[in-house]
């Protein structure tokens, strides 16, 4: 996988950067979106494929992108297809910072040190080439405006942007209501992007521990939470902490 093309996690993060403040919009859900964007990028690279509501590794060879290859190796070590909602809901400490640092090394953003309340050191990130962000945004705008089915990458990006709540950041206010609605509708144009986007929203809604399943067979009474009486409870994936600061704090 060459590095001439920006990955979907990179594009999602660039979309979320606020040019006025240097912070990221929707920081809590964005972390989930970046984990989901990695899955979409790996699927587009032919390394994984959907298996119902699960993700299966179909080609474990490296992509050449260290961050994606780390995710691919973790998926491979699972040994069996993993539910997308469990993967996305798992701990992803530092993933946003990893991509911000990568964008800085690539010269697409610049780190601006500062302080919060005159005490806490913080780092804000400003886009250094606004043409890149405008091009990404233009692809979404075109898909929304024309109604023409977008390419898989743009469709997946739109699905993730909607899932993490960037619609109100990209198309604010009452005047942006129709655009936000159309952004949501783009989710249907890419099956993998749709699967991942719904998984992101399920994690945010606390539904990660409740897989969609058919009714329990006769003789097995369903327990609260959608489990059968004979089935042990599944562990609830780590949720983003409430109250996280929008700024990235430099340690």
Q: What is the pTM of this model?
A: 0.77
Mean pLDDT for 236-248 is 39
pLDDT band at 207 (very low <50, low <70, confident <90, very high): low
Closest CA relative to residue 24, chosen from 32, 34, 33, 15: 15
- Which residue did the predictor score with more confidence, 209 or 91? 91
**Alpha helices, H only, 93-211:** 95-105, 130-146, 152-163, 167-170, 177-185, 191-204
pLDDT band at 183 (very low <50, low <70, confident <90, very high): very high
Give Cα 210 distance to the centre of its chain. Answer: 20
Phi, psi of 17 (to 5 degrees): -70, 130
Q: Write down the pLDDT at residue 19.
A: 79
Contact of 190 with 227, CB cutoff 8 Å:
no
Q: Write down the pLDDT at residue 124.
A: 86
pLDDT band at 37 (very low <50, low <70, confident <90, very high): very high
Query: Coil, helix or strand for 218?
Result: coil
Q: In angstroms, rounded to a whole number, what is the distance separating the alpha carbons of residues 197 and 192?
A: 8
- Which residue did the predictor score with more confidence, 228 or 99? 99
Q: Write down the pLDDT at residue 208.
A: 52
Q: What is the mean pLDDT of the chain?
A: 81
Q: Write down the pLDDT at residue 32.
A: 94
Q: In angstroms, rounded to a whole number, what is the distance separating the alpha carbons of residues 134 and 146?
A: 18
């Amino acid at each position: 996988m060459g590095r001439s093309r920006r990955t979907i996690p990179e594009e999602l993060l660039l979309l979320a950067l606020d040019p006025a403040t240097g912070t990221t919009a929707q920081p809590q859900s964005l972390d989930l979106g970046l984990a989901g964007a990695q899955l979409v990028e790996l699927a587009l690279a032919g390394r994984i494929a959907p298996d119902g509501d699960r993700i299966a590794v179909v080609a474990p060879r490296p992509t050449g992108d260290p961050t994606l290859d780390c995710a691919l190796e973790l998926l491979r070590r699972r040994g069996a297809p993993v539910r997308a909602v469990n993967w996305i809901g798992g701990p992803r400490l530092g993933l946003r910072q990893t991509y911000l640092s990568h964008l800085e090394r690539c010269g697409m953003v610049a780190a601006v040190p500062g302080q919060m309340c005159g005490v806490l050191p913080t780092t804000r990130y400003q886009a250094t080439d606004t043409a890149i962000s405008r091009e990404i945004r233009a692809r979404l705008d075109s898909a929304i405006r024309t109604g023409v089915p977008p390419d898989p990458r743009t469709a997946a990006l739109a699905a993730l942007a909607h899932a993490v709540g960037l619609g109100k950041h990209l198309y604010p206010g009452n005047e942006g209501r129709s655009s936000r609605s159309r952004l949501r509708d783009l989710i249907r144009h890419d099956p993998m992007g749709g699967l991942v986007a719904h998984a992101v929203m399920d994690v945010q809604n606390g539904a990660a521990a409740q897989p969609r399943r058919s009714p329990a067979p006769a003789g097995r009474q369903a327990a609260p939470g959608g489990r059968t009486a004979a089935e042990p409870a599944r562990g609830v994936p780590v949720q983003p902490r409430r109250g996280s600061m929008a700024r990235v704090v430099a340690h």
